[in-house]
Amino acid sequence: MISKSERETKKIAADLVKKLPGSSVLTLYGKLGSGKTTFVHGLAQSLGIKERILSPTFVLLRSYSLDDPRFAHLHHFDLYRMENEEAAKTSGIEEILKENTSLVVIEWPEKIESLLPGNVIKIKFRKIDDAKREIEIKSVG
């Protein structure tokens, strides 16, 4: 699908989150500036998170408690600065991926492909121009 604005990208995220079962893992692929963090903003807003969503680029993970019957938490990983899979293992990501009560969103998941569960939702972002983004959502597993 084509998003023509940040607002549309957030709406696509909000529409997706309505359809998700509990314990979902979303993997976000795309270059810098392709819309991944804007998409996470849309997810968070639709789940009732009022605080400002910041990309966890420098801290690796930000977690938010939710008042949602499907998800106790939103865990947002940004692995852009992660050096390798070994570093991911020491971060606690494996334990979070095993939780059955959270929505886990991972930016730059290609850095930990072998650690991902088999049933993820892959979302690919491609910047078309300053405003437009192509967003492809594919369920795996």
Strand partners, 2: 134
Low-confidence ranges of the chain (pLDDT < 50): none
> Rounded to an integer, what distance in angstroms lies between the CA atom of residue 87 and that of residue 100?
23
* The residue to which tokens 């730059």 are assigned: 108
- How high is the pLDDT of residue 46? 93
- How high is the pLDDT of residue 23? 84
- How high is the pLDDT of residue 141? 60
- How high is the pLDDT of residue 21? 83
**For residue 132, with 0-12 CB atoms within 10 Å meaning exposed, 13-18 middle and 19 or more buried, which class applies?**
middle
> How crowded is residue 83: how many other Cβ atoms within 10 Å of its Cβ?
9
CATH fold of the domain at 2-139: Rossmann fold (3.40.50)
- How high is the pLDDT of residue 57? 57
Q: Please give the structure tokens belonging to residue 40.
A: 């996470």
